[in-house]
A and B are shown apart, each in its own frame.
Chain A
Amino acid sequence: MSQAGTYTGAQLIWESLIREGVDTVFGYPGGAILPTYDAMTEYSVRHVLVRHEQSAVHMADGYARASGRVGVVVATSGPGATNLVTGLATAMLDSTPLVAITGQVGSALLGTDAFQEVDITGITIPVTKHNYLVTRAEDIVPAIREAFAVARSGRPGPVLVDITKDAQQGRATLDWEAAVPQRHLRHLPAPLDPVVLAQALDLIRAAKRPVILAGHGIQLSGARAEVLALAEKADIPFALTLLGLGAVPATHPLSLGMMGMHGESWVNRAIQEADLLLAFGMRFDDRVTGKLKEYAPNAKKIHIDIDASELNKNVPVDVAIQADLGDVLRALLPQIEVADRSPWLDTIREWRGDSAVRDIKNLPDDGHLYAAHVMHDLWRLTRGEAVVVTDVGQHQMWEAQYYHHDGERSLITSGGAGTMGFALPAAIGAKIARPEAEVWVVAGDGGFQMTFAELMTAVQENVKVNIAVINNGFLGMVRQWQAMFYEGRYAATPILSPDFVKLADAFGIPGQRVETRSDLAAAVARARAAEGTALIEFKVEQEDSVYPMVPAGAALHEMIRRPSVLAETGSDPV
């Protein structure tokens, strides 16, 4: 601040971020954002320099998912801004609160195809909750303040603020109080309706075979305790979505496990045969419902979600409540009756029995290394206490099946968008948000090659993450679909990798290669003990597939089961 109580626009950006509680940003400088980077030196903010702007958004995303805070990204105009798009879409689909600040060419040049000019607000309309084009210094504070309010409120999501270079260089006064945001309050849920709550209670009371569908909304609402209290009081088992894993503990006696395309058979069967589904902060995505027409045909449905547009979207429900989940459950809990649903729970246990013996983790060590072994052993060796950040594909599903997440925000993965390359940058962000946590990257050889340049970011920023690259020499999930549905024509799915141990060496981090299960524990111990980021390449079975599987478009009970030949003799060496 120099000229009589005014600030430059660039200073106002940092003044606003700091007032919003930001101490870390992920970014990459460039021409149109230079005034802002120049002003950054006056503020105590940690800037994490990425190797590609897409990774900056994934880092901010991992940071936000690990901590519940708003992640912040800074990038320049043109390609800097367009590189954000995949990350924004990833955050949008998984409801992560983010604010991205981009530089833009001077306002006089807008629309002229000036150097590094792209219409980033036009491009990002469908992948942000809202965005702003700011052309005057005095509009910066209100825009950023509102951006944070929008990102956090209701169903969270990413917001982009595009600020022209002349707005960054202009001057304005700082009036924080005058910029109190209002518009995010426009569409708050209506107060809870006692009539609707009574309908929900009646359905719960009458249900003989109820199942809770536990989604990401539980963590976003902070409703873990309420969900558990309801489940325990009414004796209702819960099935989890991929993003719901960890929202309620996997090892809880009422936990069934993950539902959907790669859910275990007893979980999907319980859903299909239920007489009541209680959908808590989930959105009936096609990966969890299978064929909609045959989804849970005999179940009444109660759906609670903060986003009204999710209600009655894919699955018509009997009771739809647009509200914060925690608020609803707190209103319901005193009136929930204590129940004993052991006949239903026993039935599910029976279904479970026959599936569990087919489990690949019980394979004896015959010299082959299966990805399922890696996940199971990682879970055991880290006592289930790590924050695991997965990429997208087979390893992601195996991790979801075999790493049992008890803690909240302990699994970070790209669910809705399925963005390959997400894991490493998101894990770096997660570790920065929670330095005390043990953070593991679990990535395939394909996805890891998309963003492994961020290894250097981890080194430069002194961030320790442990990396498990599950290398099967294929884009495995696509190969699996080709094997199952395209008569085994492996079009463009065999993929070569560099020597990951040498690659690690080039980045100055320890690298190891594991090819047998007996070497696994020692390698994991060395990686954990390493001071900085460490990498282990696991050379696993090349043509292994994820089971069970509900083929796309099939009904949820029409699963391809695990081949039972795998389970002749059960043993568990760890």
Chain B
Amino acid sequence: MPHVLVVYTDDEPGVLTRVASLIRRRGFNIHSLTVGPTERAGLSRMTIVVDSEAPMVRQAVEHLRKLVNVLEVQQLGERPMVVRDLVLLRVATAPEVRSEVLQLAQVFRAAVVDIADDSLVIECTGSLAKIDALVDSMRPYGILELGRTGAVAMLRGSRKVTPSRSTQSLRTGTGPEAMSV
């Protein structure tokens, strides 16, 4: 069963390796892992979707909490949350099916971001299930290329989970400037 983890880390070289290495060690398959900056400089936020049994995931969370670069780990899933994924799809569109594909895209509120003679590039944001459904519906026309960002997740409601500033890194990192992903 997929579990969604949100991990706050220092924005430093090597952090991604440490986190991924820990998860690999217990043999988890990472569904998706996204990382990017947050509202605060020096703080990165990862959303990790892993496929494993709940006790194993709890164990991984405790291991992640031991990393010096990790400020906080949230295991979402029990609480209401928003999970979003973005997909870019290049779909084959022979002239006779082009309008069908455009209509379908509209149903999913997906945007057409590029048009070529025999294909379209469609962009869509939504829950994992919605993206899966869009991809399935386009499959019969021929998917030429597909790229997904992986999930970004956030709790609903007013509760803010970004950890407090007090334990943030004093150091600015010791290598090439920022972690590139």
Is B174 in contact with A135, judged by CB distance below 8 angstroms?
A: yes
Classify chain B's interface size. 20 to 34
| Interface assignment of B167: CB less than 8 Å from any CB of chain A | yes
Query: Which 5 A-B pairs have CB atoms at the shortest separation, nearest pair first?
Result: A309-B62, A130-B68, A139-B174, A186-B167, A308-B62
Q: Which residue of B lies closest to A149 (CB)?
A: B68
The interface-forming segment of A118-126, A532-540, A543-551 is A118-126
Is B66 in contact with A307, judged by CB distance below 8 angstroms?
A: yes
C-beta contact mask, A245-256 vs B, less than 8 Å → 1, else 0? 000000000000
- Residues of chain A contacted by B58 (CB below 8 angstroms): 312
Is A135 in contact with B175, judged by CB distance below 8 angstroms?
A: yes
A312–B62 Cα distance when bound, in Å, is 11
Q: Which of these, B25, B63, B68, B174, contacts A184 with CB under 8 Å?
A: B68
A271–B145 Cα distance when bound, in Å, is 60
| Interface assignment of A46: CB less than 8 Å from any CB of chain B | no
A142-B170 contact given A121-B14, A125-B17, A313-B59, CB 8 Å threshold = yes
- Residues of chain B contacted by A121 (CB below 8 angstroms): 14
A501–B18 Cα distance when bound, in Å, is 48
C-beta contact mask, B1-33 vs A, less than 8 Å → 1, else 0? 000000000100110011001000100000000
Is A126 in contact with B21, judged by CB distance below 8 angstroms?
A: yes
**Could you tell me the distance in whole angstroms from the C-beta of B59 to the nearest C-beta in chain A?**
6
**Could you tell me the distance in whole angstroms from the C-beta of B34 to the nearest C-beta in chain A?**
21
| Interface assignment of B84: CB less than 8 Å from any CB of chain A | no
Q: Which residue of A lies closest to B21 (CB)?
A: A125
- Residues of chain B contacted by A136 (CB below 8 angstroms): 174
C-beta contact mask, B151-181 vs A, less than 8 Å → 1, else 0? 0000000000000001111110011000000
Is A150 in contact with B68, judged by CB distance below 8 angstroms?
A: yes
A182-B170 contact given A121-B14, A313-B59, CB 8 Å threshold = yes
Known: A133-B175, A182-B169, A186-B68. 10 other contacts (CB 8 A): A125-B14, A125-B21, A130-B68, A132-B174, A136-B174, A139-B171, A308-B62, A309-B59, A309-B62, A309-B66
Q: Which residue of A lies closest to B60 (CB)?
A: A309
CB interface residues, B 48-66, toward A, < 8 Å? 55, 58-59, 62-63, 65-66
CB interface residues, B 72-86, toward A, < 8 Å? none
| Interface assignment of A293: CB less than 8 Å from any CB of chain B | no
A183–B68 Cα distance when bound, in Å, is 6
Is B68 in contact with A133, judged by CB distance below 8 angstroms?
A: no
A403–B90 Cα distance when bound, in Å, is 73
A150–B17 Cα distance when bound, in Å, is 19
- Residues of chain A contacted by B168 (CB below 8 angstroms): 182
Q: Which of these, B10, B14, B67, contacts A133 with CB under 8 Å?
A: B14
Is B174 in contact with A134, judged by CB distance below 8 angstroms?
A: yes
- Residues of chain B contacted by A135 (CB below 8 angstroms): 174-175
Q: Which residue of A lies closest to B58 (CB)?
A: A312
A143-B174 contact given A186-B71, A187-B65, A312-B55, CB 8 Å threshold = yes
- Residues of chain A contacted by B68 (CB below 8 angstroms): 129-130, 146, 150, 183-184, 186
| Interface assignment of A185: CB less than 8 Å from any CB of chain B | yes
- Residues of chain A contacted by B66 (CB below 8 angstroms): 129, 154, 187, 307, 309
**Could you tell me the distance in whole angstroms from the C-beta of B8 to the nearest C-beta in chain A?**
10
Is A309 in contact with B13, judged by CB distance below 8 angstroms?
A: no
A183–B166 Cα distance when bound, in Å, is 9
**Could you tell me the distance in whole angstroms from the C-beta of A161 to the nearest C-beta in chain B?**
10
- Residues of chain B contacted by A142 (CB below 8 angstroms): 170-171
A386–B66 Cα distance when bound, in Å, is 36
Is B25 in contact with A126, judged by CB distance below 8 angstroms?
A: yes
Interface centre among B17, B62, B65, B169 (most CB of A within 10 A): B62
Q: Which residue of B lies closest to A130 (CB)?
A: B68
- Residues of chain A contacted by B171 (CB below 8 angstroms): 139, 142-143, 146
Q: Which residue of A lies closest to B67 (CB)?
A: A130
A259–B174 Cα distance when bound, in Å, is 46
**Could you tell me the distance in whole angstroms from the C-beta of B84 to the nearest C-beta in chain A?**
28
A351–B53 Cα distance when bound, in Å, is 41
- Residues of chain A contacted by B70 (CB below 8 angstroms): 186
- Residues of chain A contacted by B18 (CB below 8 angstroms): 125
C-beta contact mask, A234-274 vs B, less than 8 Å → 1, else 0? 00000000000000000000000000000000000000000
- Residues of chain A contacted by B175 (CB below 8 angstroms): 133, 135
Q: Which of these, A122, A143, A182, A308, contacts B65 with CB under 8 Å?
A: A308
CB interface residues, A 134-153, toward B, < 8 Å? 134-136, 139, 142-143, 146, 150
A486–B180 Cα distance when bound, in Å, is 51
Q: Which residue of A lies closest to B68 (CB)?
A: A130
- Residues of chain A contacted by B63 (CB below 8 angstroms): 309
C-beta contact mask, A168-179 vs B, less than 8 Å → 1, else 0? 000000000011
A532–B70 Cα distance when bound, in Å, is 49
C-beta contact mask, A288-308 vs B, less than 8 Å → 1, else 0? 000000000000000000011
- Residues of chain B contacted by A309 (CB below 8 angstroms): 59, 62-63, 65-66
**Could you tell me the distance in whole angstroms from the C-beta of B163 to the nearest C-beta in chain A?**
8
A399–B166 Cα distance when bound, in Å, is 49
- Residues of chain A contacted by B167 (CB below 8 angstroms): 182-183, 185-186
Interface centre among A142, A154, A185, A187 (most CB of B within 10 A): A187
Interface centre among A132, A146, A183 (most CB of B within 10 A): A183
A180–B10 Cα distance when bound, in Å, is 17
A129–B169 Cα distance when bound, in Å, is 17
**Could you tell me the distance in whole angstroms from the C-beta of A543 to the nearest C-beta in chain B?**
39
**Could you tell me the distance in whole angstroms from the C-beta of A164 to the nearest C-beta in chain B?**
10
- Residues of chain B contacted by A126 (CB below 8 angstroms): 21, 25
Q: Which residue of B lies closest to A131 (CB)?
A: B14
A178–B13 Cα distance when bound, in Å, is 22
**Could you tell me the distance in whole angstroms from the C-beta of A503 to the nearest C-beta in chain B?**
41
Q: Which residue of B lies closest to A139 (CB)?
A: B174
**Could you tell me the distance in whole angstroms from the C-beta of A380 to the nearest C-beta in chain B?**
43
Q: Which residue of A lies closest to B72 (CB)?
A: A186
A135–B177 Cα distance when bound, in Å, is 12
Q: Which of these, A133, A139, A182, contacts B13 with CB under 8 Å?
A: A133
**Could you tell me the distance in whole angstroms from the C-beta of A111 to the nearest C-beta in chain B?**
10
A114–B18 Cα distance when bound, in Å, is 24
- Residues of chain B contacted by A180 (CB below 8 angstroms): 170
A308–B17 Cα distance when bound, in Å, is 22
Interface centre among A142, A178, A185 (most CB of B within 10 A): A142
C-beta contact mask, A104-115 vs B, less than 8 Å → 1, else 0? 000000000000
A401–B4 Cα distance when bound, in Å, is 48
